[in-house]
């Protein structure tokens, strides 16, 4: 009745932004991501017939804000007539600041809950269940390069390459440690309702997915860099042109983008991507990792950098 699972965040290179259906949390577009290695969330789930309510502890502190979402997710995995649970989460990176902590959290939660209640759903079912709680969480069940496809009213997940089949490196420049001002669900709804660019964003996503899939297949770094930066800036253009506008960036975010441009101009194989937060993720070939990390660390407004190779999908750490 108790299990612990670990999952790593993933970084989308072709982004998920927009929902087709709110009730099922079905994405409006497919996406393509890389799963990280050294950042992680560990979730322990313990069911007990003696508990009257679910209890959630994040980093040792009781958290009632996230509880409803977590309980809803457990209902999906186990059923609504389940025992109540104590859920404990530990994360080794800042949460709710655009580092995809919900992806690793819900992937680990679903995997731990499934093991703790002895259900043993297959991986794609687990990914679909996690995806209903957080769209990007479906991708964290797989390592390396992952594509999420929207197939009618369901999602499908495909691992395009394993982590060691094209070992890229990621440097995350932390420019603010505080929680983001607007959650991604609310921001996506606002974008769909008010950005004049939203329909074209949705219509042209398949082009970007096709180009990124090809780049990954050919291990063509320049091609992947070009489509990933384009797709990222397109998503942020949709956010910026929403009403009221959604701007997750700060001064240091722009400074980091400039640093990446300067590195590119001097021939360094690196590109940036930015999610619903102010942090800049620089993806590079492993040989350039130290140079990219040093340049970002020196960029004005960067408090620290985190580094990661690509890693595996969610996995069980313990169960009893």
The residues binding ligand PMV (CB under 6 A) are 12, 15-17, 31, 100, 102-103, 134-136, 184, 275-276
Distance of CA 127 to the CA centre of its chain: 13
Closer by beta carbon to ligand PMV, 35 or else 184: 184
Closer by beta carbon to ligand PMV, 98 or else 289: 98
Closer by beta carbon to ligand PMV, 46 or else 275: 275
- What span, in angstroms and rounded, lies between the C-alpha atoms of 201 and 236? 10
Closer by beta carbon to ligand PMV, 117 or else 175: 175
CB of 118 to ligand PMV, least distance (A): 28
Distance of CA 135 to the CA centre of its chain: 8
CB of 246 to ligand PMV, least distance (A): 11
CB of 103 to ligand PMV, least distance (A): 6
CB of 273 to ligand PMV, least distance (A): 9
Closer by beta carbon to ligand PMV, 3 or else 70: 70
- What span, in angstroms and rounded, lies between the C-alpha atoms of 136 and 34? 11
CB of 92 to ligand PMV, least distance (A): 19
Q: Where are the beta strands (DSSP E) in the chain?
A: 2-7, 10-14, 19-21, 26-27, 31-35, 41-48, 55-58, 61-62, 84-91, 145-151, 154-161, 169-174, 270-273, 280-284, 304-309, 315-319
Q: Where are the alpha helices (DSSP H) in 175-305?
A: 184-194, 198-203, 205-218, 221-240, 251-265, 289-297
DSSP-derived pairing of the beta strands 84-91 and 55-58? parallel
CB of 39 to ligand PMV, least distance (A): 14
Closer by beta carbon to ligand PMV, 85 or else 97: 97
DSSP-derived pairing of the beta strands 169-174 and 84-91? unpaired
Residues 6+ apart with CB under 8 A from 249: 236, 274, 278
């Amino acid at each position: 009745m108790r299990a612990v699972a670990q999952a790593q965040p993933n970084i989308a290179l072709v982004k998920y932004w927009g929902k087709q259906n709110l009730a099922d949390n079905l994405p409006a577009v497919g996406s393509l991501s890389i799963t990280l290695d050294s950042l992680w969330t560990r979730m322990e789930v313990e069911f007990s017939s003696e508990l009257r309510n679910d209890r959630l502890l994040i980093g040792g502190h009781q958290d009632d804000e996230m509880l409803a979402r977590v309980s809803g997710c457990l209902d999906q995995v186990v059923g609504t007539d389940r025992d109540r649970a104590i859920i404990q989460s530990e994360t080794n990176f800042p949460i709710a600041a655009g580092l995809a902590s919900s992806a690793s959290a819900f992937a680990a939660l679903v995997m731990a809950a499934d093991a703790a209640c002895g259900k043993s759903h297959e991986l794609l079912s687990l990914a679909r269940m996690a995806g209903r709680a957080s769209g990007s969480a479906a991708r964290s069940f797989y390592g390396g390069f992952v594509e999420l496809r929207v197939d009618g009213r369901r999602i499908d997940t495909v691992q395009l390459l394993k982590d060691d089949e094209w070992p890229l490196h990621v440097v995350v420049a932390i420019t603010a440690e505080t929680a983001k001002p607007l959650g991604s669900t609310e921001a996506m709804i606002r974008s769909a309702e008010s950005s004049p660019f939203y329909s074209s964003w949705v219509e042209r996503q398949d082009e970007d997915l096709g180009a990124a899939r090809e780049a990954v297949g050919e291990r063509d770094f320049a091609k992947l860099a070009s489509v990933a930066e384009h797709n990222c800036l397109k998503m942020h253009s949709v956010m910026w042109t929403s009403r009221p506008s959604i701007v997750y960036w700060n001064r240091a975010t722009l400074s980091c983008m400039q640093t990446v441009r300067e590195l590119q101009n001097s021939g360094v194989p690196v590109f940036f991507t930015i999610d619903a937060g102010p942090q800049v993720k620089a993806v590079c070939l492993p040989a350039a990792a130290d140079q990219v990390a040093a340049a970002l660390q020196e960029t004005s407004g960067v408090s620290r950098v985190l580094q990661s190779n690509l890693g595996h999908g969610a996995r069980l750490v313990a169960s009893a």
